């Protein structure tokens, strides 16, 4: 299933993509994505059934897609430096020693950073003039996970989505902790949907790309993650209980702007496109706020 949150005629609804171009509302099953996740496998079974019986959906062109979980109940959990080539380029750009993390580097993005898959990214040069892109595969937790083993970990995944971990490099550097530079309003667009786990045979076998104004900047592969999704979920769950609806972004491959020669940053008018194979594409324009 490809599950969406959308606005149609002023009403926010949960839906599933029926064909490329149509959405079937799931409002008879659940009010929103969190409620559907809470229903577990029975909710998904009901959605499958409804999708099969539905005659005609709402054309995607008639709606505005929101982030699949527009208001997560807590921060988005993120991994830093989870691709070796990106860890190396970051260390070089910061002038740090080039070394790979021995344990996952974990930080979070504020819930107020969440943005729609095709909405504008607010830009304020007075706050930051070093806005950078990071295309990432994110996974969504399906049920409470505590002390999970790597072998069992993927059973706790509800589904997958595409997230742009936009970063204010100047703030990230200035404040030492990543949090502020990662949490500008609207700087965590994700979607366009959550693809349920059953549809992705191997989440470590997906191409991941980012283009700015249609010029390819990042071209990576989830097989190159240092800590796999299973390993990440297991290690997180060893320290904290993961809750249904938690979103975990798994790090970005190499090619980000600040590590390029010369460095490149996003400016108003730029359009950033992030794609993960078999999952989807999000596309956002940088706009003065």
Residues of this chain that bind Mg ion (CB under 5 A):
134, 165, 252
Distance of closest approach, residue 82 Cβ to Mg ion, in angstroms? 8
* Closer to Mg ion by Cβ: residue 119 or 165: 165
Is residue 101 left, alpha or beta, with left meaning phi > 0 and alpha meaning psi from -120 to 50? beta
* Closer to Mg ion by Cβ: residue 165 or 246: 165
Distance of closest approach, residue 249 Cβ to Mg ion, in angstroms? 6
Report the SS3 class of residue 47.
helix
* Closer to Mg ion by Cβ: residue 37 or 212: 212
Distance between CA 268 and CA 260 in Å, rounded? 19
Is the peptide bond preceding residue 262 cis, with omega within 30 degrees of 0? yes
Distance of closest approach, residue 129 Cβ to Mg ion, in angstroms? 19
Distance between CA 225 and CA 160 in Å, rounded? 16
Distance of closest approach, residue 165 Cβ to Mg ion, in angstroms? 3
Distance between CA 182 and CA 216 in Å, rounded? 23
* Closer to Mg ion by Cβ: residue 86 or 197: 86
Residue nearest to Mg ion (CB): 165
Exposure of 253 in the CB half-sphere (CA atoms within 13 A) = 22
* Closer to Mg ion by Cβ: residue 15 or 181: 181
Distance of closest approach, residue 279 Cβ to Mg ion, in angstroms? 17
Strands 188-196 and 114-115: parallel
């Amino acid at each position: 299933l490809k599950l969406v949150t959308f606005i149609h005629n002023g009403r926010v609804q949960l839906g599933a993509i029926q064909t490329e171009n149509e959405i079937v509302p799931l409002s008879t099953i659940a009010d929103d994505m969190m409620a559907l996740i809470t229903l577990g496998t029975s909710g998904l079974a009901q959605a499958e059934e409804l999708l099969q019986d539905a005659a005609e959906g709402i054309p995607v062109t008639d709606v505005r897609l929101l982030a699949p979980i527009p208001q997560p109940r807590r921060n988005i959990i993120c991994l830093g430096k989870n691709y070796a080539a990106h860890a190396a380029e970051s260390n070089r750009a910061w002038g740090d020693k080039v070394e790979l993390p021995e344990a996952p580097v974990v930080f979070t993005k504020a819930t107020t950073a969440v943005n729609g898959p095709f909405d504008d990214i607010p830009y304020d040069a007075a706050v930051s003039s070093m806005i950078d892109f990071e295309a990432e595969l994110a996974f969504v937790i399906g049920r409470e996970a505590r002390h999970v083993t790597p072998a069992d970990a993927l059973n706790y995944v509800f589904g997958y989505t595409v997230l742009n971990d936009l970063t204010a490099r100047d703030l990230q550097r200035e404040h030492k902790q990543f949090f502020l530079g990662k949490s500008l309003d609207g700087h965590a667009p994700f979607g366009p949907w959550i693809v349920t786990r059953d549809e992705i045979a191997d989440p470590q076998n997906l191409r991941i790309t980012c283009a700015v104004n249609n010029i390819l900047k990042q071209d990576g592969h989830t097989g190159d993650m240092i800590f796999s999704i299973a390993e990440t979920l297991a290690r997180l769950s060893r320290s904290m209980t993961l809750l249904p609806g938690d979103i975990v972004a798994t790090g970005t491959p190499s090619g980000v702007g600040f590590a390029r020669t010369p460095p490149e940053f996003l400016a108003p008018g730029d359009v950033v496109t992030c794609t993960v194979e078999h999952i989807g594409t999000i596309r956002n324009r940088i706009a003065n706020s």
